[in-house]
Homo-oligomer: A and B are copies of this chain.
């Protein structure tokens, strides 16, 4: 149980454990259905510690979204889908990577951001904002590869690299919802497969150097 130092001011042990617990519990139960007491029990800390680190339950939601953004961006930055020479291959490898992540229990692969967004967008604007930053921050990392693939294929259609990146995110989010509704992870994989086919079709049947749409 190491304490933070002046060189590392924030980031106490209790704080991290609370954020990890928040990620796991909120992902399964949702934000509103999760009580502060439940979070404290899961993290093994007291309520006093909770409100020492977070001004409110909403503030924890914001911090959890940021924590999610940090940890997942690290995961994607270190992933091997970047190791392809062709930009289109990197995009397709990203989709394969996301597909492979869909394994095991629902609580382990679904997205905290998507779950919180639905509950928070009207009631907790600060959480919605943090979710937006996390979500669109991630999609923006996909844009360079998509853009390069478009240029390599001579595509200049009515859609942009940014919009395709966001659409890929939308498919994943929707896939998670269907998996939850049907309680079957293969429903999510199914949609990711359709997404991969879409990207393949987009870049395969291009008119050389012309308008695509």
A interface residue numbers (CB < 8 A to B): 28-30, 32-33, 106-107, 113-115, 117-119, 121-123, 128, 131-132, 135-136, 159, 163-164, 166-167, 169-175, 177-178, 180-183, 187, 190-191, 193-194, 197-198, 201-202, 204-205, 213
A191: chain B residues at CB < 8 Å are 166-167, 170-171
Report which of B106, B177, B182 forms a contact with A114, defined as CB distance below 8 A. Answer: B177
A30: chain B residues at CB < 8 Å are 30, 32, 118-119, 123
Query: Which of A28, A106, A174, A175 has the largest count of B CB atoms less than 10 A from its CB?
Result: A174
The oligomer's copy count stands at 2
Q: Are B194 and A198 in contact (CB under 8 A)?
A: yes
Known contacts A135-B178, A190-B163, A202-B201; A118 and B122 CB within 8 A of each other: no
A181: chain B residues at CB < 8 Å are 113, 117, 121, 128, 131-132, 135-136
A31 to chain B, nearest CB (A): 8
What residue in chain B is nearest A115 (Cβ atoms)? B118
What are 7 pairs between A and B in contact, CB < 8 Å?
A29-B119, A30-B32, A106-B122, A118-B118, A159-B197, A166-B187, A197-B202
